[in-house]
Amino acid sequence: MNETEGSVSQARAQVGEAAGEMQEKARETAQEARAKAGDRVRQEVDTRSTQAGEQTRSVAEAMRRSGEQLRSEQKQTPAKLLEGSADRAERLGAYLEQSSGDDILRDVEDFARRQPWLVAAGAFAFGLAASRFLKASSSRRYQASDGARFTRRQAHVEYAEPWETSIPPASPAVPPVPAAEPPIVTRSEGY
């Protein structure tokens, strides 16, 4: 019996080691997957931010040209406002172009830690806007699909075969009650 207990405990130890190795491999695989996903997110943020930076800088250039045109038309106040906006857009575009995906994600995280209520309010506003958009688009889709069904029904009636239009309406299941005098109830009947 001691030999049997020894072999059972040895088998348990081997199974435990194998399970531990499998858990470690699974943990390593999950860490690798997270790292790869994080790298893809960083690369995507980096690519998109560079594109957004280029677009923002081109908008800033257009705003400067508009400001110069307003200044030539002797409209100083709008020209100053436009140039100030162009300066801010230029700085934002330069930041987006020059910053890496890691830098941008770190800055967003820092901002969210410093201003959590502002981030929550922004998320709430975004959620409201998204729900309004979805509600409006769903009602339009419903109306469009309902209109399509109505049009198909209308087309069926308009372009019906001659034999379909000559079918008489079905008779009612309950025969009509002839118009008669209402019964006269007397006190002797118990009412």
pLDDT, one tens digit per residue, over 16-64 is: 787 778 888 888 888 888 888 878 888 888 888 888 888 888 988 988 8
* pLDDT of amino acid 117: 92
User: What sign for the dihedral angle of Cα 52, 56, 57, 58?
Assistant: positive
What DSSP string describes 42-62? Answer: HHHHHHHHHHHHHHHHHHHHH
How far, in Å, CA of 191 to CA of 188, rounded?
7
How far, in Å, CA of 169 to CA of 167, rounded?
6
Q: What is the DSSP letter of 172?
A: P
pLDDT tens digits, one per residue of 104-129: 888 888 988 998 898 899 889 989 98
Would the pTM of this model clear 0.85, i.e. be above it? no
